[in-house]
Structure 1
Amino acid sequence: MKLGRLAQEAGIALDTGGEAGVTGFAIDHRKVAPGTVFGAFPGTRFNGEDFIPAAVAAGAVAIVARPEARVEGAVHIADAEPRRAFARLAARFFTPVPETIVAVTGTNGKTSTVEMTRQIWRMGGHHAASIGTLGVTTADESVSTGLTTPDIVTFLSNMTGLAREGVTHVAYEASSHGLSQYRNEGLRVTAGAFTNLSRDHLDYHGTMESYFAAKMRLFDEVIAEDGTAVVWADDPWSAKVCEHAGRRGLRVLAVGGQAETDGSSIRLLARTPTQLGQELDVEMAGERRKVVLPLIGAYQAANALVSAGLVLATGGEAGQVFDALARLQPVRGRLERAAITRAGAPVYIDYAHTPDAIEAAIAALRPHVRGRLITVLGAGGDRDEGKRPEMGRAAAAGSDLVIVTDDNPRGEDPAAIRKAVLGGCPGAMEVADRREAISAAVAAADGDDIVLVAGKGHEQGQIVGRGDAMRVLPFDDVEVAREVAAA
């Protein structure tokens, strides 16, 4: 494909080089081959502009970079937002793509919501996939990408690969990092969802307002102008989300207890916990429905209903969509029951790694606890330090016994991280080794108790060190819980 044609379709003016043939796109200079368009972006650790000469020497035909970048020997596509320009160009190169694409943003619930959306679509007869923290998930396989939102080249190539395999419907996680760095741009997004907003990633965004603004790019710029915003109405930030959607002229489909009783909203009238799940009483378009959801917890109900909203926004039939909720399967590492101890206590694994998520996971389990709720948690290193004591407070407020352990310490001193968490729960036990901490929780639990292991969820490794000294030690909370429960 000619560079000039790609630029014209992306709305980018070229002075020269339009006849150059494009064979691919790369943001890693080591992956440049003859005919590649190279994206040279300033980053927190590296400046891609430093690798422009190497990219040109490897055969790059064009460099997308800031106007002040120095480019010799290739076309310089200069833009003040080079990531956005690169994404728009790349999106014209990677074709075909699935015809129906939706995105989910929010602090918690993104992974569950995109996966539940995929399941509902599949039960409706569509060939569907989800992209996010769990990787690329289709009906018959899951391929890990290692990131909630992969880089733009991986994202677009995944989309094209899925389309060539016959996938017609895709739901993807739109993280704040991905939105602020234009990692998922250029495609027609039919609908987007907002789940909630609570403290996370302030080490990157600085303030909650900046964090929220990054999320809002989904509604301000990414969703198609004739698209739909599915908004969980029971979050304090939801009214502002609706304002952003309204300014774009997007259709708003509100979901939750505070949703209006209009024809397009899904109002949650009542939620009743059961032994293995919960019953939901919902109303839409004046019709009340009973939904038997085979998942526990208020936030799982929220995720399921937001997923239903996304499917309805993309042409799903209400009867089929609500019937499908009764057949949803648990999402890996999201209140996943990993084991039952010899004493009869169930052990749940959850990805909760923010104060709000820990509170939600505890609230989900509390109605099922006859004895004590025992919570194991830690906090990740090289991440927002301010949330650590808040995580401890959230655990202490809802648990009968808290065990503070290591999560992914990365480049920080694990003892210092644990101390920060213990600042919010000074009466907690401290067990540094994560396996020993899980073992201690299992040993302490009797048949009326429930054990919650929070923080790592689906992850299968523990990250220690940073840079060249970084190691990923094999560690899977689910497998460890099963091993210690059987020991």
Structure 2
Amino acid sequence: MATSAHEGGDAQSMRPSRPVSHTVAELAALTGAESVPARSGAAEPVTGVVLNSREVQPGDLYAALPGARVHGARFAADAAAAGAVAVLTDPEGARLLAGAGTDLPVLVCADPRAWVGPVARAVYDSQPADGSGQELFAVTGTNGKTTTTYFITSVLRALGHTTGLIGTIEILAGDTPIPSHLTTPEAPHVHSLLALMRERGITATGMEVSSHALEFHRVDGVRYDVAGFTNLTQDHLDLHGSMAEYFEAKAQLFTADRTRRAVVVLSEEDPWGAAMAQRARENLGTERVSTVALRGSDSGEDADAADWTLRSLERRGIGTAFTLTHADGRELRVHTGLPGEFNVANAALAVLMVLDSGVPLETLQRALDEHDPLTTSVPGRMQLVGTAPTSLVDFAHNPDALVRVLRSVRPENGEGRVIVVFGATGQRDTTKRPIMGRVAAEEADVVIVTDDDPHGEDPGPIREQVAAGAREAVADGARATDVLVVEPRATAIHTAVRMARPEDAIIVAGRGHETAQDVNGVNVPLDDRVELRNALEALHAHTKEQK
């Protein structure tokens, strides 16, 4: 559900110092909107765009959009008082403004949200027509977006770029980090950030693009150089309703007005990859779409049809070395220090997206060999917190991600157990709760169900729905020998550490880098990494005392 302008979003916005002023008439021509002039005085030029009336600065166009609870037009007086010089709204908003006697010029169109991005692009000049903007890389999919964008920017830095990042964990504008509350910020923030990055000399930026961002027009007006697709598994069905609708939301990225080129991961386990590749070819042309098959010669039809094939996987420590082989015989030797086959897929996608941006293969290979850029640390993504027992924190919060993580931490010698601590989010897709419980019991030896972010939902029933799926799997002969329900989450983490033997592996899943737990609208401080580290220190201190 979209929020109204007064309901929030990222409160802090960094803007470029040199916006391009536009008259209201010019913006009316751009949008095709009906222009209602101010009742008194001449219209002032527009030098900024905002969705939130609390962010208005003098010279801004205020986009008054319909929200979940209230129409943004009701805050137009606040926007005007803060210095807004014009309003963009729909017919309902125009009626509200007329009734309130707001004395600002108004642009009226049927779907104003769809025009916020293009207007912000024009005002902030985020992608100049002369091509002087930075290269832009977009990653979408259910799992792997964050890690892949970190990989992309790390490879680009190894190639000599100064990079920017817009994602779940953080936004980096030059050397300045900005906390991110949405996977993708709203359209005015995206365009102002891109323009600011260009002013600061950033030459390439990686961005996560969620289905929410595409559905709610947060990246409208942005055209990427290369867009990548990781996978599509069950998530966000509370918004999309079905996997087919979820696919259609993601597919919006792979159109000619949003990206020049595309790279798509193919996997026998994910038929949506082949469907996305086909859709991208239809929209962009076959020559602008590259595919990579994950399982080498075992990939069957995917491997035969793919442009690139992943071969010669070799375990190196907790990471993996592998080769990407093109159908024409070209090869890239790649290494990632992050554990798990899914990180091999993320690394392959990142490398090929950079290659498809126009970097010569020999230049890219040299950067991979000399800098090992795919061993970069990603906060809260397979983040190693301790050893003996091996203890990791990951953001896995849906069934597919949980399976991938649990399989990646299982000791190769078979002597250690896998202990998982996780829960399910409240007020989100309820159908995945028992599924997550089941896959946890099938892949782990000990399952500890606890709370994730319950939001406004009673956490007890959430835990029981997850645990029921785990218990049913155990009854059917699943791997797990124990299914525990423990709350609060910090206690569950400490319980896992106390149960663990040195040869075991603990994975605390679901929240990753997050540092606060939403309990009925209250942010309760909680960082899985801190709790896990504290529990391990307490364990080791106790062990020393016993010796």
Give yes or no for TM over 0.5. yes
C-alpha distance 475-321 of structure 1, shift in aligned 2 (>3 A): farther
Once the two structures are superposed, the pairs formed by residues 268-287 of structure 1 within 5 Å of their partners are 268-284=310-326, 285-287=328-330
CA positional deviation for 1:221: 5.8
Pair 1:65-2:89 in alignment: yes
SS in 1 for 2:469: coil
Pair 1:101-2:152 in alignment: no
Moved more, 139-148 or 433-442: 139-148
Among 372, 388, 395, the alignment partner of 1:351 is 395
C-alpha distance 324-360 of structure 1, shift in aligned 2 (>3 A): farther
Amino acid at match of 2:408: A
Pair 1:171-2:206 in alignment: yes
Instruction: Tell me the alpha carbon deviations over residues 114-170 of structure 1, each in whole angstroms, 9 at most, x when there is no partner.
Output: 111000000000111211101113675533122111112222222122111110101
Amino acid at match of 1:364: S
Residue equivalent to 1:452 = 507
Contact 1:100/1:190, CA 8 A, preserved across alignment: yes
Pair 1:43-2:73 in alignment: no
Residue equivalent to 1:136 = 171
Contact 1:261/1:283, CA 8 A, preserved across alignment: no
C-alpha distance 319-394 of structure 1, shift in aligned 2 (>3 A): farther
SS in 1 for 2:207: strand
Instruction: Tell me the alpha carbon deviations over residues 269-322 of structure 1, each in whole angstroms, 9 at most, x when there is no partner.
Output: 242333321121320240344433212111101111111111112122323434
Instruction: Tell me the alpha carbon deviations over residues 5-25 of structure 1, each in whole angstroms, 9 at most, x when there is no partner.
Output: 752784535656595311321
SS in 2 for 1:166: coil
Gaps of 5+ in 2: 1-20, 128-132, 472-481, 539-547
CA positional deviation for 1:220: 2.9
CA positional deviation for 1:261: 6.4
Residue equivalent to 2:161 = 126
Residue equivalent to 2:12 = none
Once the two structures are superposed, the pairs formed by residues 419-430 of structure 1 within 5 Å of their partners are 419-426=464-471, 428-430=483-485
Residue equivalent to 2:265 = 232
Root-mean-square deviation (Å): 2.3
CA positional deviation for 1:461: 1.2
Among 373, 396, 399, the alignment partner of 2:441 is 396
SS in 1 for 2:225: strand
Residue equivalent to 2:281 = 246
Residue equivalent to 2:188 = 153
Once the two structures are superposed, the pairs formed by residues 180-199 of structure 1 within 5 Å of their partners are 180-199=215-234
Contact 1:135/1:147, CA 8 A, preserved across alignment: no
SS in 1 for 2:502: coil
Contact 1:232/1:256, CA 8 A, preserved across alignment: yes
Residue equivalent to 2:419 = 374
CA distance in 2, matches of 1:221, 1:62: 31
Instruction: Tell me the alpha carbon deviations over residues 63-111 of structure 1, each in whole angstroms, 9 at most, x when there is no partner.
Output: 2222343233333322222111121111111135542112111111111
SS in 2 for 1:161: helix
Among 406, 427, 432, the alignment partner of 2:487 is 432
Once the two structures are superposed, the pairs formed by residues 279-428 of structure 1 within 5 Å of their partners are 279-284=321-326, 285-322=328-365, 324-325=367-368, 326-328=372-374, 329-340=376-387, 344-368=388-412, 370-426=415-471, 428=483
> Normalization by structure 2: what TM-score?
0.82
Q: Identity over the aligned pairs, expressed in percent?
A: 35
Moved more, 214-223 or 191-200: 214-223
CA distance in 2, matches of 1:375, 1:232: 28
CA distance in 2, matches of 1:80, 1:215: 24
C-alpha distance 10-308 of structure 1, shift in aligned 2 (>3 A): farther
Gaps of 5+ in 1: none
SS in 2 for 1:424: helix
Contact 2:126/2:192, CA 8 A, preserved across alignment: no
SS in 2 for 1:177: helix
CA distance in 2, matches of 1:151, 1:387: 28
C-alpha distance 44-270 of structure 1, shift in aligned 2 (>3 A): farther
Instruction: Tell me the alpha carbon deviations over residues 16-72 of structure 1, each in whole angstroms, 9 at most, x when there is no partner.
Output: 659531132111122334432111222234432332344345443322222343233
C-alpha distance 292-31 of structure 1, shift in aligned 2 (>3 A): closer
Moved more, 29-38 or 439-448: 29-38
SS in 1 for 2:517: strand
Residue equivalent to 2:106 = 76
Amino acid at match of 1:360: R
Contact 1:39/1:65, CA 8 A, preserved across alignment: yes
Amino acid at match of 2:255: D
Residue equivalent to 2:542 = none
Among 256, 259, 268, the alignment partner of 2:293 is 256
Contact 2:28/2:107, CA 8 A, preserved across alignment: no
Contact 1:273/1:296, CA 8 A, preserved across alignment: no
Amino acid at match of 1:472: N
- Which of the pair has more CA radius of gyration? 2
Q: Runs of at least 4 residues of structure 1 off by over 6 A? A: none
SS in 1 for 2:182: coil
Instruction: Tell me the alpha carbon deviations over residues 376-435 of structure 1, each in whole angstroms, 9 at most, x when there is no partner.
Output: 101111211111111111111100001011111111111111011111112511111111
CA distance in 2, matches of 1:46, 1:112: 36
Amino acid at match of 1:89: V
Contact 1:254/1:260, CA 8 A, preserved across alignment: no
SS in 2 for 1:356: helix
Contact 1:179/1:217, CA 8 A, preserved across alignment: yes
> Normalization by structure 1: what TM-score?
0.92
CA distance in 2, matches of 1:41, 1:16: 17
SS in 2 for 1:60: coil
Pair 1:267-2:309 in alignment: yes
Pair 1:473-2:524 in alignment: yes
C-alpha distance 29-372 of structure 1, shift in aligned 2 (>3 A): same
C-alpha distance 87-211 of structure 1, shift in aligned 2 (>3 A): same
